[in-house]
Amino acid sequence: MKYSNPVIKGFYPDPSVCKVEDTYYLVCSSFQYFPGVPLFESKDLVNWTQIGHCLTRESQVRLSGVNSSGGVFAPTIRHQDGRFYMTTTNDTTRQNFYVWTDDIYGEWSEPVYVDQGGIDPDLYFENGRAFFMSNGLDDDGVGGVIQCELNIETGTKLSPSRSIWQGTGGRYLESPHMYKIDGRYYLMAAEGGTEYGHMVIYARSESLHGPFESYASNPVLTNRNLGGYELQGVGHGDLVQDGEGNWWMLHLGFRQIGRWLTYHHLGREVFLTPVTFGEDGWFTAGHDGITLTGFNTDRIPDTTLQRVKKSETFENTDWNLDWCYLRHPSAANYRLAHGKATLTGTEVTLDTPASPTFIGIRQKDFDATISCEVSLTGTGEAGLTLYMDENHHYDLAIRRDATGIRAITRLNVGDIKSVEHQTALPGDSVKLLIRSGHERYHFFAVIDGVEFPLGTAQTRYLSSEVAGGFTGVLIGLYAVGRDSQAEFTVFECAYI
């Protein structure tokens, strides 16, 4: 079978995976968005279905006042004795914690906090004992991957935190994961920063606590030297073994907007790469240590069909799964029904690191046509936004003030916020249309079937290279204005 990467498209970074019986479960980072930590399942590793989130209650995670790309960092999912555990970091509060559930389709527990610093935590279980790892400083101030033993019921440390591996010397050691394979302990991590220098590294030991011997050909997986290639930023992986004994790595990467255009705005996505163990017990990954946009493999049956969703609508998406809010929303401002969303505006705008009236879905491919019927009552503004963060977003909206009602395009790039184009509307409703390409967005208001151009904007100004941070573009519905109410119908994002 030949499968295509990424296997989960759009802003779903820092994947972690575990297998229980014949099903794989995967979680991703969510940062300032709520609900937190998207949760997926799969039977074949190439087709993933979102089944929930791990953090669905305000009591589980603090997001108020969190800046973009703050909040919930890289999670790990593990299963032990019939129970699922998800451990993560709230980087804004500098707290590591985990939640658990006995029902993967149900609610998760309140957080259990761990008195160990660092980020990107991992849980490892052996012989009834639980061990917690993160990357940071140990109790003696030594940096690296740090480890302690935990009481898994309470989160209490049963041993000091100790640095067990310092990586290979690359910057930003992160994403530690521990495995026991054929009697040896393998410690996998990432270095280079989650950008163009990203890479996966590993070491092994005869003991859980080290010392660890680094793989001689590290990095085991990276696309860092492939200038001019569209797939970059490969790193932050997690290993899993399939039912036939084959090993795989789920990891992040990103797609540049073009072969020689070093910008990415869809976010870091989930990629699947084959892993092969040699007779000496060391493993290799990918095609000569790089990840491809597709792999031809006999590890997956030819009867497996990789499904691609080409159109997302209000009818074929789930408000509770596919869509998300900025930080903790005020539920009274949202009425979400089959085929329709009614949003009540507030004075909080998209330019504020707070919780405006906003609900968004991730953009999953470069080429798309995005449209929605929008009506507005009251004074204010409502429409579609292509949202990277509070300082970088493009808005196509209806705006009503004392001078009348208009369709506008506003470009927000850093400190520059400008209404570039506008056209008067004959009524209080309009179809808004965005045509998306690799390099540009094109904006239109459709009145009585006629498209009125409202300008274009370069995608690069919503990229991580310009905006910074760790997220990707969301297609958002929003409303602003204390006495405004907006109704959204006939939404579609059709990928080409």
Which residues are catalytically annotated? 14, 174
For residue 241, give Cα distances in angstroms to 43, 181, 282, 445.
Answer: 13, 10, 15, 50
Neighbouring CB atoms inside 10 A of 273's CB total: 22
The DSSP result for 267-280, as a single string, is --EEEEEEEEE-TT
Nearest 5°: the CA angle 196, 272, 95 is 65
The DSSP result for 190-220, as a single string, is EES-SSTT-EEEEEEESSTT---EEPTT--S
Peptide bond connecting 38 to the previous residue in cis, omega within 30 degrees of 0: no
List % helix, strand, coil for the chain (3-state, nearest 5).
Answer: 5, 55, 45
Name the residue among 166, 176, 219, 178 with its Cα closest to residue 197.
Answer: 219
Q: Which residues contact 111 (CB under 8 A, 6 or more apart)?
A: 60, 61, 97, 98, 99
| Distance between CA atoms of residues 214 and 216, nearest Å | 6
Q: Which residues contact 178 (CB under 8 A, 6 or more apart)?
A: 122, 124, 131, 133, 185, 186, 187, 208
Q: Which residues contact 416 (CB under 8 A, 6 or more apart)?
A: none
452 with 445: CB under 8 angstroms? Answer: yes
Q: What is the DSSP letter of 108?
A: P
Phi, psi of 128 (to 5 degrees): 75, 5
